[in-house]
């Protein structure tokens, strides 16, 4: 397989998962310019695109390439023109990898290798608004009285709203107060992998001991342990051990414990036994404050009118806010000038051209399928399984609300069901949305999944 063919596979996969504007912004004029048996060198048009691909998309790119060429161990990025491939000699590639690795090491210094905390995320750089006041206050309370005030602390909210920032802020603040404090931040997917490895290597007791010696255990995206019986068993025993010693546990998820499917009831009960705080969509003032802080951090003197324009037009995701600002910042770096308001509107035209509420039935089916952990096939087919009925009705509701399809059209998308069935399902969820807070939360979280443009 040629480098061109391999990169086309990557581009095709990325285009499916990103909005057109984001795909164009970060992947236009990129290519694989050189490769060895174990390393890939990717050319990008500017330094800003290089930084963004390294920090935001490298994990996904690595996975796509790894599926095709599992022997690849390193992916590096370089800035150059269209003739870069001609300028790279085959023998120089290994040396390039070595030089780039040095730069990577300096970036890695931001993460504490012992506790996995990122030093960039602190309370000083967390903007508090009406959407996150409770979560922020609860986090500060935990810092002041570790293991005693809110234990566990459970934070939930959609993608890109600041959960991970708060988790790291808590850990960093506690570590700054007491460097001897044993802290560990870990994503749920990583703890699952560690448990599987330890079971395979028969070192599970050593791993359990490692967790049980902690003063503070922080698990991000805990929803990913749902359905994994052995992982839940180990987390349950670890939870009980730490809790009995008044050691602090902090968890985050994209939804409240009650809405996590296939989560063991005993774990759900433990998660709900402390403080649960949600992080919602930021209001205009909070969005504007976030943009001003990000601009200050970049030493970027952009005018208030432009910032207000971004804050007005991008409403649901902090990462999207930052992405829009970064697009303008990239322009200023490339052309060595700060764009005026007219230029800002032009720069963001493609970014904002697709109305927020434009989606497809496939996207809705995928979001509902992921949220309730049922297959799309079961939702669409005539399955009468109890666990499928409600997700199917939610699809009926969202297809009507978000795509404005007629009831017969929705019926055709869901296995040629009669329009009267669709009306019944739609009205049932509509009534629940108005009367039941849990249903309202579920629908909000699913919509955030539908409209999120990219992950961390």
Report the C-alpha gap between 132 and 280 in whole angstroms: 6
**Start-to-end Cα distance in the chain:** 30
Nearest 5°: CA angle at 360, between 359 and 365? 115
Asked if the bond preceding 152 is cis, omega within 30° of 0, the reply is yes
| Number of C-beta neighbours around residue 436 at 10 A | 12
Angle of helix 20-27 relative to helix 318-335, nearest 10 degrees, comes to: 40
Report the C-alpha gap between 57 and 43 in whole angstroms: 14
Give the residue carrying structure tokens 């230029």: 343
Residue 164 marked as a ligand binder: yes
Report the C-alpha gap between 165 and 198 in whole angstroms: 29
Q: Are 361 and 405 in contact (CB under 8 A)?
A: yes
Nearest 5°: CA angle at 256, between 255 and 260? 70
Among 275, 263, 214, residue whose Cα is nearest residue 242? 214
Report the C-alpha gap between 323 and 454 in whole angstroms: 10
Residue 163 marked as a ligand binder: yes
Q: Are 21 and 350 in contact (CB under 8 A)?
A: yes
Report the C-alpha gap between 231 and 262 in whole angstroms: 13
Give the residue carrying structure tokens 């969202």: 398
Report the C-alpha gap between 440 and 429 in whole angstroms: 9
Binding residues: 160, 162-164
Binding residues for ATP: 160, 162-164
């Amino acid at each position: 397989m040629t480098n061109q063919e391999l990169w086309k596979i990557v581009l095709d996969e990325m285009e499916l998962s990103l909005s057109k504007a984001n795909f164009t912004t970060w992947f236009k004029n990129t290519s694989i310019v050189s490769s060895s048996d174990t390393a890939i060198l990717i050319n990008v048009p500017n330094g800003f695109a290089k930084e963004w691909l390294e920090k935001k998309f490298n994990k996904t790119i690595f996975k796509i390439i790894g599926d095709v060429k599992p022997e690849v161990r390193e992916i590096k990025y370089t800035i150059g023109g269209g003739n870069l491939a001609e300028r790279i000699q085959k023998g120089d590639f290994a040396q390039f990898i070595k030089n780039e690795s040095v730069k990577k090491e300096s970036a890695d210094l931001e993460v504490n290798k012992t506790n996995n905390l990122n030093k960039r995320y602190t309370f000083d750089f967390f903007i508090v608004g009406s959407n996150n006041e409770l979560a922020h206050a609860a986090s500060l309370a935990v810092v002041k009285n570790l293991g005693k005030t809110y234990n566990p602390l459970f934070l939930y909210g959609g993608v890109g709203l600041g959960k991970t920032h708060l988790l790291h802020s808590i850990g960093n603040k506690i570590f700054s107060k007491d460097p001897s404090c044993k802290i560990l931040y870990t994503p749920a997917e990583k703890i699952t992998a560690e448990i599987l490895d330890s079971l395979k290597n028969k070192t599970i007791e050593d791993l359990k001991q490692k967790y049980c010696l902690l003063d503070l255990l922080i698990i991000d995206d805990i929803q990913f342990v749902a359905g994994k019986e052995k992982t839940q068993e180990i987390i349950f025993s670890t939870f009980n051990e730490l809790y009995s010693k008044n050691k602090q546990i902090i968890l985050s998820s994209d939804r409240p414990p009650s809405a996590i499917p296939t989560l063991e009831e005993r774990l759900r009960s433990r998660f709900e036994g402390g403080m649960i705080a949600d992080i919602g969509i930021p209001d205009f003032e909070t969005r504007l404050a976030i943009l001003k802080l990000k601009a200050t951090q970049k030493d970027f003197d952009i005018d208030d009118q432009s910032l207000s324009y971004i804050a007005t037009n991008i409403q649901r995701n902090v990462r999207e806010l930052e992405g829009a600002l970064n697009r303008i910042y990239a322009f200023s770096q490339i052309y060595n000038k700060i764009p005026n308001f007219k230029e800002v509107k032009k720069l963001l035209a493609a970014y904002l051209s697709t109305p927020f509420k434009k989606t497809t039935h496939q996207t809705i089916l995928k979001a509902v399928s992921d949220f309730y952990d049922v297959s799309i096939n079961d939702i669409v087919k005539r399955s009468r399984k109890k666990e499928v009925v409600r997700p199917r009705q939610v699809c009926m509701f969202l297809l009507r609300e978000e795509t404005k399809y007629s009831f017969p059209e929705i019926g055709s998308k869901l296995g040629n069901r009669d329009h009267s069935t669709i009306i019944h399902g739609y009205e049932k969820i509509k009534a629940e949305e108005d009367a039941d807070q849990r249903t309202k939360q579920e629908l909000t979280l699913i919509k955030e999944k539908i409209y999120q443009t990219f992950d961390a």
